[in-house]
Chains A and B, each alone.
Chain A
Amino acid sequence: MIVKKVLALTVFALAITSCAINTESATQTPASNSDTEITVFAAASLTQTFTEISNKFELANPGVKVTISFAGSATLAEQIKQGAPVDVFASASSSAILSVANEITNPKNFARNRVVIAYPSANPKNIVTSQDLNNKDLIWIQCDHQVPCGAAADKALAVDGVTSQPKSLEPDVNSVLNKLIAGEVDAAIVYLTDVFANSNLKSLEFSNKVSAATSYSIGTSNEASSSAQDFVAFVLAQSGQEVLIAAGFDAPPN
């Protein structure tokens, strides 16, 4: 009996360990009887804006239900490669969407963003230049290198000659942001739009805004319905652009 109990526990232990976190997904419930459903994979940094845009889209298109899964662009690209059912992919970098060129076609830039050095509004560590990150007493973190926000951070930090190491390489920007808001770090490399959305945070720009920038791309899967095409058009049109710009994103390059 004991043997069985312990074996059950073992299996249980191994099961628990495989629980993964930080793939935040948000689901909108349909307002009407929906005939069409579209699944959107969107970068974690689009959590607020795409939730709002999809609500507007559903209002404008009765009968269409939008389901969005938010996570790091690299995670989403990997899920798409593994055959996850997706109609629209909105990634935080061109390279992330190009890595799934077989599955997602005709990507278009729809917004720009850039990474900044974010810190609490009170600025207890007196951060005034990016060089302050080199201060040994200062704890800062960023996204992992393969995530768009991490790739942009790597470039911008190199240009500014920051040589100190981050205390952690987080799997997506929300995870970085959570630790900054929780007060566990003094500074964090996040998107300008993240600072926009949090009144308790202030930001410092990198000296070279071009190297800190990232272009958001959106595309549809090969078998996407016309509703999915409509959603992409909605994001690219004024309806989506005004939401993005209000959140601090820049218009896409022409």
Chain B
Amino acid sequence: MRHQTNNLQGSAKLNPGFALLALAGFLVLALPVFALLTRVPWGSFLEIAISESVLLALEVSVATSIISAVISVLLGVPLAWYLARGPQARTRWIRPIVIAPLVMPPTVSGIALLTLMGRNGMFGKYIYEATGYSMPFTTTAVIVSGIFVGMPFLVLVLESAFRQTPIELEEAAATLGAPPAKVFWRISLPLAKSGLIAGAVLAWARALGEFGATLMFAGSLPGVTRTMPMAVYSAMESDQGSAFVVSAILLAVAILVVFFLRSNLIKTFAR
């Protein structure tokens, strides 16, 4: 089937009106990015990129998004496995809850996190009373926001990768005496490797770009909770050069992620 699709590619005849709409669609997406690039101060790019405020934001963003992605993998792999192979009567109800943060407005995510973990939150209140610890305004809060918005991507992609694995292979291994854990580590997970990588990269990119939930839940303090998207927002009003430099860096990351996912997935799934 895939071969057929490939053979047909390039042969479609579009009527002019349709092609015009396609072009308009492309321009809607491409022009803003082009406009952004024209405003980046390329001459002083490096100088601005290594200025203190940009480096601080870069540091916070890189560290928190990587930790968010690692934790998303640790928790998301078992969850994706359960959704792919667990009893449908239950996964039917669990799946929408797991995916919901993906389509939630970031401000709603921020309020949800505050309501749970804030000083007056459902859990946060007891933690604060018992230990004096409150999560908002900490780097941990940035990481938690990243997990909340990023992990659904990993679970979604990995679950579908697990489903692609022929269940016969797992059954055969089990028949031959392999314990379930061994089947998972030696067969299921290796076969879903590309899904795992793609999901982890998506979860990381989503955590890196998070703005609304982080601002509401973690606040914005340079070196502690101010991530690159928040630095862009703050600098747009005072120091536009650095706003555009940080935007360009985030844009480059976004493009790299898209290309990486594309080649990575085609390599694995088009065999």
A60 within 8 A of B: no
Q: List 28 A-B contacts (CB under 8 A).
A: A2-B160, A2-B164, A6-B198, A6-B202, A10-B202, A10-B261, A12-B102, A13-B209, A14-B209, A14-B254, A16-B102, A17-B229, A18-B209, A19-B105, A21-B215, A22-B215, A74-B238, A75-B237, A139-B134, A139-B137, A168-B220, A168-B225, A171-B220, A171-B233, A182-B114, A183-B119, A183-B120, A184-B134
Interface of B is mostly: helix
A103 within 8 A of B: no
Question: With the chains together, A72 CA to B102 CA distance in Å?
Answer: 29
Question: With the chains together, A21 CA to B233 CA distance in Å?
Answer: 10
Does B261 contact A21, Cβ atoms closer than 8 Å? no
Q: Which 9 A-B pairs have the closest CB atoms?
A: A168-B219, A17-B209, A74-B237, A146-B238, A167-B137, A183-B120, A21-B212, A3-B265, A13-B206
B20 within 8 A of A: no
Does B221 contact A184, Cβ atoms closer than 8 Å? no
B209 smallest CB distance to A (angstroms): 3
Does B156 contact A9, Cβ atoms closer than 8 Å? yes
Question: Which residues between 6 and 42 of chain A lie within 8 Å of chain B, taking CB atoms?
Answer: 6-7, 9-14, 16-22
B107 within 8 A of A: yes
| Mask of B123-161 contacts with A, CB within 8 angstroms, 1/0 | 000000000101011000000000001000100110011
Q: A169-B226, A184-B120 are in contact. List 7 more A-B contacts (CB 8 A).
A: A3-B262, A17-B229, A21-B212, A21-B216, A22-B215, A168-B221, A182-B120
Chain A residues with CB under 8 Å of B136's CB are 179, 184
Does A7 contact B106, Cβ atoms closer than 8 Å? no
Q: How many residues of B contact A (CB 8 A)?
A: 52
Does A2 contact B153, Cβ atoms closer than 8 Å? no
Does A10 contact B107, Cβ atoms closer than 8 Å? no
Does A170 contact B237, Cβ atoms closer than 8 Å? no
A141 within 8 A of B: yes
Chain B residues with CB under 8 Å of A167's CB are 137, 219, 221
The winner among A6, A16, A137, A167 for most chain B CB atoms within 10 A is A6
A121 smallest CB distance to B (angstroms): 15
A160 within 8 A of B: no
Does A13 contact B202, Cβ atoms closer than 8 Å? yes
Chain A residues with CB under 8 Å of B221's CB are 165-169
